Amino acid sequence: MTTTQKIESLRHTISVLVENKAGVLARIAGLFSARGYNIDALSVGTTEDPQVSRMTIVVRGDERVLEQVCKQLNKLIDVIKVMDYVGTPHLERDLVLIKVAADKNTRSELIQICDIFRAKIVDVAADSVIIEMTGDNEKIEAMIKMLRPFGIKEVCRTGIVAMARGAKGISIQELERV
Amino acid sequence: MKKLKKVEIHELSGAQIIVECLVREGVSQIFGIPGGALLPTFDALYDSPVKVVLTRHEQGAAHMADGYARATGKVGVCIATSGPGATNLVTGLATANMDSIPVVAITGQVATHLIGNDAFQEADATGVMRPVTKHNFMVKDVQDLPRVLREAFYIARSGRPGPVHVDVPVDVQRAKLKFDWVENVSIRSYKPKISGHPLQIQRAVELIDKSEKPLLYVGGGAILSGARDEIVALSEKAEIPVVHTLMANGAFPFDHPNYVGIMGMHGRFSSNIATQNCDLLISCGARFDDRVTGSVKTFARNAKKIHIDVDPANIGKTVNVDVPVVGDLKTVLAKIAEMVKFRKHQTWRKQIQDWENKHPFVVKPVKGVLQPQYLIQRIHKLTKGEAVVSTGVGQHQMWAMQWYPAKNPRRFLTSGGLGTMGYGFPAALGATFGVNDRPVICIDGDGSFQMTMTELGTAVQEKKKVILVIINNFFLGMVRQWQELFYKQRFSYSNLSQNKDENAKKVHPDLKKLSYIPDFVKIFDSYGLKGVRIYKNEEVDGAIKKALESEKTFLIEAMISPGEKVFPMVPAGGSLDETIVDMA
């Protein structure tokens, strides 16, 4: 757990509610590049309100950098709300598809690993399988490490999505009331 | 959310809607150039109440809109066609963006079905403009046009103002719509904070009441917010001396007893030392720019800091503050001024006066040569500090800042943030459309002026008068100054003439024997304008009087030694404590 905490102090997960308009993604990506912030992961999708998109951004930096990131995001006209999850109990999930070399000798071992990680084999070919798994960053890293000796052919991740546990969060209904 | 109140009128084309919206926003003139993708809009402008000032280059149009906005406080509007028209606006909008100036830029775009096809004169204008504007829009449906234009003006002038760009494809300009004027604007994702948090205001008041050596540090936000009276009120009630940045020249009256002066890299000795020694720094619409703070680590290191700014992102960006107040400066300062106790700070003020006496900020005129400081001081004297003055960027800008303290806000127009050479002349020209009760003077450098001198044509066509003062040292003077001081006098490509660099190493070379590119007086002559060239302090007053009497744009070409430098000076990244007063 200690190593995790160390990483967490540098790595922040931010949720951003934005107007679902053309160019918003470019605006946010542009902000990060213009100000020299590095994006580790970025995912975008619509919310319960089709006019609003939710972005989850994973960014590294110290407290000062993160404060600026959040303030600069808030400054963008199309950004409705920003939330940094640091210090807030929350869930993070990433979905990954991994294509691994597999033949009849290794397939059963792969199935066992998938069981342990609660992953699914979603495609089987003569010399490979595709494994689908969700989890937080660590779990996925652990899975990839386990699979590496088998020969990973492709990895594709969606980027993290995050949500605060319980009452806290950034719902649109809450915004409408303001 | 508030319900939008709508007033209905008849069907209009997109182009007519643009014009109608401009009229309703109170825009009397726009600056720009027509082109293929703007023909419908220019046709609608042809017999409209909105006048078009036809500029010679789109950069000039953007600077004119900016200069007009700075001088009047209204939103300046510029217009350009697609592709090169739009890209030529970029420098002008970036200038406005860095200095938070409300400008709306409208560009034509190729027809919607051609976008992305590499069509003739197509450029991704919204993509190019995004990082240099406060916000921008592409209007793909005429239905959105009235709302977008309304929002554009609202965003440009509210909160921390800035340029907003609206890209309108040519087919959208042609499309028809039953036009509804959107009366009230409400953008759920954009709600600038105005009033300031009462608790933070209370904390600010407590710090001010306790302070023995308070200092008001005033920035460009004071002018944007119109907070002059409130700053004066606070400064008088609690007897707080005032230093200011380049952008705040005119925010506080220079003849007020509490006025200390300009601070920063080329600020007054007393201002900089006061900043380093105050126990409370009250930042009013300033953003702790690196040209102001010098070394951030040592900047006002013993002072508590109050930072009042309408933009929360400015607070804590470079300097940690003790009391942040997010809100409109005028509103917040009015409350603070009301709440603070009456105080006297005689000892502190005397100390600042002693620093001023130690290194007084005065010009010592020398006979037979022309000193730029003396020249500007005389312009100041003969216009009572009440002219509108614009500048380019470089040495002449710093001299203008030092020796033309403006009496009132919106009288000193300069590119502070971006430092755009070529800003001065078009900005002055833009200002003439909003100012007709006082002279408009552009103090420029020979390098800066050459970047946008094409707008002389606009000045003549519009019959506008700008007094252009070119301080000519045949060098990119500020570059030369740094090369002299920090690069062993290796004047690498900063010489704008065929004169040998050796001439630039002499203290007072014989300027009449040197050659200049171009002959500015002849350039003026070719536009049907007059000008004088002067070489000595003794010629200054006569030249200024001639310029003031002229009915047309007039040139004073002031030939100075390239060896003239801007002092005081804090070397880049140095501490304000290390302010170098002069070379001796």
**Could you read off the pLDDT of B428-482 as tens digits, one per residue?**
999 999 999 999 999 999 999 999 999 999 999 999 999 999 999 999 999 999 9
pLDDT tens-digit readout, B514-539: 999 999 999 999 999 999 999 999 99
- pLDDT, tens digit (0-9, with 9 covering 90-100), for A121-165: 999 999 999 999 999 999 999 999 999 999 999 999 999 999 999
The DSSP H or E segment spanning B554 is strand B554-559
**A93, HSE (Cβ side, Cα atoms, 13 Å):** 8
Q: Quick one: closest CA in A to B190, which residue?
A: A77
List CB contacts (< 8 A) between A64 and chain B.
Answer: 316
Residue A15's pLDDT is what?
96
Who contacts B242 (Cβ-Cβ below 8 Å, separation ≥6)?
A: B215, B216, B218, B231, B235, B252, B256, B258, B259, B260
pLDDT over 80 at A177, yes or no: no
pLDDT score, position B322: 97
Match 């509007």 to its residue by tokens: B77
Residue A6 pLDDT > 70: no
| Distance of alpha carbon B131 from alpha carbon A32, whole angstroms | 11
Determine the distance in angstroms separating the CA of A85 from the nearest CA of chain B, rounded to an integer.
19
Nearest Cα residue to B284 out of B306, B301, B267: B306
Count helices and strands in chain B by DSSP H and E runs: 23, 20
Mean pLDDT, rounded, for B216-234: 98
Q: Is residue B5's pLDDT more than 70? A: no
Size of interface A-B (CB pairs under 8 A): 36
Amino acid at B146: P
Which of B131, B135, B313 shows the shortest C-beta gap to A68?
Answer: B313
Mean pLDDT of chain A: 90
Helices (H), ranges, B170-324: 170-174, 198-210, 221-225, 228-237, 269-277, 290-293
Query: What is the per-residue pLDDT for A174?
Result: 62
Residue A9 or B66, more confident: B66
Q: Tell me the CATH architecture of domain A91-161.
A: 2-Layer Sandwich (3.30)
Q: Does the pLDDT value for residue B262 go beyond 60?
A: yes
Distance CA B25, CA B17 (A): 12
Higher pLDDT, A4 or B427: B427
Contacts with A75 from chain B: Cβ below 8 Å: 311-313
What is the tens place of the pLDDT at every residue in B362-396?
999 999 999 999 999 999 999 999 999 999 999 99
Give backbone dihedrals phi and psi of A20, rounded to 5 degrees, phi first: -80, 75
**Percent of chain B with pLDDT strictly greater than 90:** 95
CB contact under 8 A, B188 and A22: no
Give the burial class of B536: count Cβ atoms within 10 A of its Cβ; 0-12 exposed, 13-18 middle, 19 or more buried.
middle
- Could you give the CA distance from residue A114 to residue A148 in angstroms, rounded to a whole number? 14
CA distance B189 to chain A (A): 4
Domain A2-88 has CATH 1.10.3260.10: no
Q: What fold is seen in the domain B372-567?
A: Rossmann fold (3.40.50)
Determine the distance in angstroms separating the CA of A55 from the nearest CA of chain B, rounded to an integer. Answer: 15
Across B250-262, average pLDDT: 97
Contact by Cβ (8 Å): B115, B81: no
Q: Give domain B6-182's CATH number out of 2.60.290.11, 3.30.43.10, 3.40.50.970, 3.30.70.1560.
A: 3.40.50.970
Check whether B512 has a pLDDT greater than 70: yes
pTM: 0.94
B336-369 residue pLDDT tens: 999 999 999 999 999 999 999 999 999 999 999 9
Query: In chain B, where does the domain assigned CATH 3.40.50.970 lie?
Result: 6-182, 372-567
What are the sequence ranges of the domains in chain A?
2-88, 91-161
pLDDT for residue A173? 67
Top CATH class of B198-358 equals alpha beta
Digit-coded pLDDT (tens) for B32-73:
999 999 999 999 999 999 999 999 999 999 999 999 999 999
Q: Determine which of A25, A35, A77, A172 to mutate to test the interface with B (most B C-beta atoms within 10 Å).
A: A77
Residue B584, pLDDT score: 53
Q: How confident is the model at residue A172 (pLDDT cuts 50, 70, 90)?
A: confident
For chain A, percent helix, then strand, then coil, each to nearest 5?
35, 40, 25
